[in-house]
């Protein structure tokens, strides 16, 4: 028989999500999580850098896919369009078919400021990674960062809509709408500031 039950990471993630759901993030201790998962505290911190990280297993996979899409993109497209296509493709591939579980986890994150800070940090890291991938294709560094930032803004707006219970459209379509809404907003206000 195996020395340990397999799937330690999964068990920790599941136990943590359950407990955060039941009693909130702050009122849940790592001791409780590892007890439910049948492991020790030291093992928890071997797998996750800190208590928050247990909720963010998906982000590295997402980032890898997005960067891959950008690297494979048509060299002639403008940077923002490259990123929008990449986000759309990854939405279809990794997010769309598990809306319920993704939305559930996001609800837990949004309910706690510490977790929200981590979420924002992940988004910022992804923005930087996208900008770096755009620079790989050649092009101005500032333009790359700007395209990455605008795309991530659209992604965020779309994601917030997508996780609302009454929303039925696909994330890809919401993404398109969000970018268009950004354009409308900006076009109406880009004129010189008064002195």
Partner DNA sequence: GTCATGATTACACAAGATGCAATCACTTCA
Partner DNA sequence: TGAAGTGATTGCATCTTGTGTAATCATGAC
Angle between helices 113-136 and 57-71 (to 10 degrees): 20
Beta-carbon-side half-sphere exposure of residue 42 (alpha carbons within 13 Å)? 0
d(CA 116, CA 110): 6
Q: Rule CB under 7 A: is residue 76 a binding residue for DNA?
A: no
Query: Nearest Cα to 143, choosing from 130, 155, 153, 154?
Result: 130
- Answer for the pair 94, 65: CB distance below 8 angstroms, yes or no: yes
Q: Which is nearer to DNA, 32 or 167 (CB)?
A: 32
Please, which residue, 37 or 70, has the CB nearer to a second copy? 70
Site for a second copy in 24-83 (CB under 8 A): 78-81
Q: How many CA atoms lie within 13 A of 123 on its CB side?
A: 16
Which stretch in 49-57, 78-86, 96-104, 130-138 sits in contact with DNA by CB under 7 A?
Answer: 49-57
Distance between terminal CA atoms of the chain?
A: 77
Q: Which of 17, 30, 143, 146 binds DNA (CB under 7 A)?
A: 30
Selection from DNA, a second copy, none that 51 binds (CB < 5 to 8 A by kind) is DNA
Spacing of C-alpha 128 from chain mean position? 13
Decide if residue 132 touches DNA (CB under 7 A).
no
Any contact of residue 110 with a second copy (CB under 8 A)? no
> Can you give the binding site for DNA, defined by CB under 7 A?
1-4, 8, 28-31, 38-43, 45-47, 49-52
> Can you give the binding site for a second copy, defined by CB under 8 A?
78-81, 84-85, 88, 113, 116-118, 120-121, 124, 142-143, 145-147, 149-150, 153, 156-157, 172, 175-176, 179-183, 185-194
């Amino acid at each position: 028989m195996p020395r340990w039950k397999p799937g330690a990471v999964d068990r920790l993630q599941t136990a943590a999500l359950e407990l955060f759901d039941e009693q909130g993030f702050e009122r849940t201790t790592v001791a409780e999580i590892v007890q439910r998962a049948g492991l020790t505290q030291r093992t928890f911190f071997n797998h996750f850098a800190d208590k928050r990280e247990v909720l963010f297993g998906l982000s590295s996979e997402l980032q890898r896919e997005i960067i891959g899409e950008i690297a494979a993109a048509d060299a002639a497209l403008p940077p923002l369009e490259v990123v929008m296509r990449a986000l759309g493709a990854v939405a279809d591939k990794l997010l769309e078919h598990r809306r319920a579980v993704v939305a559930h986890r996001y609800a837990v994150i949004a309910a706690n400021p510490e977790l929200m800070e981590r979420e924002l940090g992940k988004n910022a890291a992804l923005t930087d990674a996208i900008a770096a991938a755009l620079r790989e294709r050649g092009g101005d560094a500032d333009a790359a960062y700007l395209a990455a930032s605008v795309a991530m803004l659209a992604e965020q707006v779309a994601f917030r809509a997508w996780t609302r219970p009454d929303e039925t459209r696909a994330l890809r379509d919401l993404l398109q709408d969000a970018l268009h809404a950004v354009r409308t907003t900006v076009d109406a206000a880009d004129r010189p500031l008064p002195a």
